[in-house]
Structure 1
Amino acid sequence: MANLRKDVHLLRHLVTFQSASRTANFTQAALELGISRVAVSRQIAELEEALGQKLFARNHRTVTLTQTGDAFAKNVNPALAAVAAALARQRADVSDPRISVTVTSAFATYWLMPRLIDFGALHPDIEINLVVSDRYIDIEAENIDVAVRYSPAAQTGAGWSPLFLETIFPVYSPRYAARTQLKSAQDLRRERLLFLSGRYRREARWEYWFSQRGLSSPEERSGVSVNTYINMLQAAIEGQGIALAGRPLVDTFLADGSLKSLATITPLQRDYYYLYQRPDHARACMFSNWVESQFREMPERPLIHHLYKK
């Protein structure tokens, strides 16, 4: 730090050097910087004098980096670009109170939306642009700051961290007219089941759940077929059948008694929720910290930190 304080008067000269070394033209550098060509030439000369080395070979109409100048540019120019990027990010954090958050429709409906009022009370200055999508949108292309994604594979890129390991189990409404005592998986084969249709993976369907217990699944025509997770849960709440659902999306309904689970049937671990936070974004960090705090307060939270090496 002492050396930097001693050379602080050269910082402007380094910016000039960056432009001149990139364009290989003092006149073009002057146009970029909004100063005269004479000023560019003078600042480069002062920088060379301070370093005790020639950075440019000056020809009649052109300039070229010397070997020393080329090595200096390779060290200095990326550092200045990093500083410029950091300043831009910081200005964006201050000037734009919005953050873009993407989640699935089910996660938005059953987990996030009921809790957003809490985040708003804690951070009234932050606006949430909620991007609800059941497809995996391009985070960079869509300029997403925070994402919660449900995936069977670990998300290991920059900004990703594990959040929650889902468990699934049968749920039904107290209004549902059961045909059996609902004590075992065998009993469920005789009940009216709600089947997910459409693009959902096999692990979300009754066929997979029964196969994990060594049983064949009833035919779909024996129950009710629904094409979205939201419709399935709504049908279960209305007592139309038994759904295969999971935590944390059904926690609210289990807590208020809208849905019940079968205590005698062990939940099945399925897929993972992962949290993405745009690196070096203050407001994204605040929102991500809040999401994690909400999950920490959940009972019986199956964390999955073992998936990542610290």
Structure 2
Amino acid sequence: MIDPAEIAVAHERVRDRIHRTPVLIARDLGLDAPLEVKLENTQLTGSFKVRGAFNSLLSRAVPQAGIVAASGGNHGAAVAYAARALGHPARIFVPELAGPSKIALIRSTGADLVVVSGTYAEALAAAREHEARTGAIQVHAYDDPATVTGQGTLMREWEEQGLDGVDTVLIAVGGGGLIGGALLWLQGRRKVVAVEPESCATLGAARKAGQPVDIEVGGIAANALGAKRIGSICFDLAQRFDTPVVTVTDDAIEAAQHRLWQGLRQWVEPAGATALAALASGAYTPEPGERVAVLVCGANPAPGPFD
């Protein structure tokens, strides 16, 4: 099991490379009470993924063959950005469903981008083949200790900024790198609720089966939350802390996107609105007096505002 102290080390390693994203009290989201929100959608490349990318690249030797990563879009953009900043070549594999905004974002970094048919699973297979053939190091999107501890810096940062009196934090789940880092850092000090789209609920399927299992992937958040199987690191942590899982519909996610735009003028991708969707739709109903916070995690909708 990863030591949570490694998140503190990762925080010092990446803090000068990333943004310290804002936390605010949202009063105009159409909810019953003000809500503490962390806007990680304002992070470099538009998502938390850059935390894990920088931690991964700064904590290991990079060979001449460079870096390879598979991604639904945001992870690829983050790895490509970090690789460019550190002077390393990078090849990024993404599925077609990544969408034009994320594909354009990755291309803008100068990385070698390969678009493959299928889903994230096919992109990962192609990245592993490239890794084996060339000797490049792979930066996994979610199931690697360096990725998870890098993502865990978000929750460490958030505790420094707020969460005073907050009982529960709602976090969207794809492969589990972000929520895994949060669980690792918090160690049960606060309740963490996993929120998944009904159409790609990897953690819920794994909790039900007692082990990670493959699922079918679909829905409007598939290009960010569309892992075929939950990561083993996240699954072990979710089992250890008995993490509750709720699912939300695509309609609820779309409605939450509009709430964030109307109330905060934050136009985010479906994955970025998924955690709020659980609260706004009633998929997660707090107990009387329970104080809840929400993470907004991704800012790259398809189509984007200038597509």
**What TM-score, normalized by structure 2, do the two folds share?**
0.23
**What TM-score, normalized by structure 1, do the two folds share?**
0.23
Which structure has greater strand proportion?
1
Larger radius of gyration: 1
